A and B are shown apart, each in its own frame.
Chain A
Amino acid sequence: MPTVEMTVNGKRASAQVEGRTLLVQFLREKLGLTGTHIGCDTSQCGACVVHVDGRAVKSCTLLAVQANGASVTTIEGVANGETLHPMQEAFRDNHGLQCGFCTPGMVMTAIDLVTNNASPSEEEIRHGLEGNICRCTGYHNIVKAVKAGAAAMKG
């Protein structure tokens, strides 16, 4: 079995995996990082979004071996100790979640969106969230949260 080694949330992680092991399985089952969810396992819903070398990707559609040597950030890696990331705080303040299942993927996608576009318009936010499905909120408060999070990230 191949050995994969990557940096996850700033720490080195390595394990033996089968070639077919998905990155999301590696994160959840080998590293116990269960904040990254599996909603559909068919590349549609975005519950599994993490950052690989700074870009948002669906970790159910990436093999662990493809991320060998990469730097990975999951939802567990964005807060600063007890202080939530400004985007997490914005989701809380704006009721950007109900059941919370989609939220890790939404937050990771939103952070990538704002990294590329510091002041997104409502339309740009909606376009940027096309790969993330929420069954509860109707998206309205998620869009508000991303807007507020973007403003907070500017400081």
Chain B
Amino acid sequence: MHDFGYHRPASVADVAGLLASKGEAKVVAGGMTLIPTLKQRLASPSDLVDLAGIAELKGVKAEGGGITIGAMTTHAEVHRSAEVQKTIPALAQLAGGIGDPQVRNRGTIGGSVANSDPAADYPAAVLGLGATIRTNKREIKADDFFKGMFETALQDGEIITAIHFPKPEKAGYSKFPNPASRYAIVGVFVARTAGGVRAAVTGAGPCAFRSKELESALGGSFTPEAAKAVKLGADGFNTDLHATAAYRAHLISVMAARAVAAAS
């Protein structure tokens, strides 16, 4: 790891100031992705700006029938939150299945969503629930946020401050985890909302995406059988040492069926 300057500002305004004044500064949240990346020298920022000292970025609160989760809220806090368990139990369950306990004690929702790892869990929930990403500059709809592998709509100097999730009628998440890392080989988040059914897939493409095929099948009948009957071609899906594109295409229907069966 190359050395860097370290800053722990107390407000979002100070973060923006540091990011603007330091040449190659990067923010650090839980560090569960960034520190391994620094160790491999895949990134070598001049400065790290730690978001851990900013109280307003932490915590879960009820808002407009749904919930708003601060960017620095850890996976463990979301998993244990009575508010999340009550309003969107599928989201609490998803957070409890990320990585392992030590990763959940440090890793944050803001870091996970900003990173847009193709196999990360949260992006499926953000898209599946039609969440809104709040930044220090604006609000971004989930449908406009994920742009590609490790690529999002965030601009230079823009940080996520919170994510707002509307309450669905019913939602469920199921993933086929890599047995070593627990990252999703395929994960599917389904939600029945007042505006129709949403189904988001992670692990299979360059970033999380909505499946029109699943959404129309589940819009007709929100049942595991309807999900299982969806047959997807392998085109555009990832092939790597863990699974082929065809296997991932098959897993999407299977995980969707399990997510619908588990939905509450």
Contact = CB atoms under 8 A, between A and B. Distances in A.
Interface string A129-149: 011100000000000000000
A18 interface: yes
A16 to B, nearest CB: 13
B101 A112 contact: yes
Contacts, number: 70
A128 B8 CA distance: 31
A62 interface: yes
B106 A62 contact: yes
Interface stretch (A7-15, A36-44, A78-86, A88-96): A36-44
Given A19-B4, A20-B3, A63-B31, A56 B36 contact: no
A55 B32 CA distance: 15
B35 A19 contact: no
Interface string A36-66: 0000011110100100000111100111011
Contacts of A63: 6, 31, 35, 48
Interface residues of B, number: 28
B101 A128 contact: yes
Given A43-B36, A63-B6, A113 B31 contact: no
A66 B50 contact: yes
A113 B182 CA distance: 19
Contacts of B231: none
B36 A62 contact: no
Contacts of A2: 6
B101 A44 contact: no
B1 A62 contact: no
Nearest to B177: A130
B102 interface: yes
Given A44-B180, A61-B36, A63-B35, A19 B102 contact: no
Contact of B102 (A65, A66, A68, A109): A109
Contacts of B5: 19
A130 B39 CA distance: 23
Contact of B105 (A43, A56, A66, A132): A56
A57 B102 contact: yes
Contacts of A57: 102, 105-106
A69 B38 CA distance: 23
Contact of A19 (B48, B101, B181): B48
What are the nearest 7 A-B pairs in CB distance? A131-B100, A130-B100, A19-B6, A55-B105, A20-B1, A65-B6, A131-B102
30 contacts: A2-B6, A19-B4, A19-B6, A20-B2, A41-B39, A43-B35, A43-B36, A43-B103, A46-B100, A46-B102, A55-B76, A55-B105, A56-B101, A57-B102, A58-B102, A58-B103, A61-B35, A62-B35, A63-B31, A65-B8, A65-B50, A66-B28, A66-B50, A68-B8, A113-B101, A130-B99, A130-B101, A131-B99, A131-B102, A131-B103
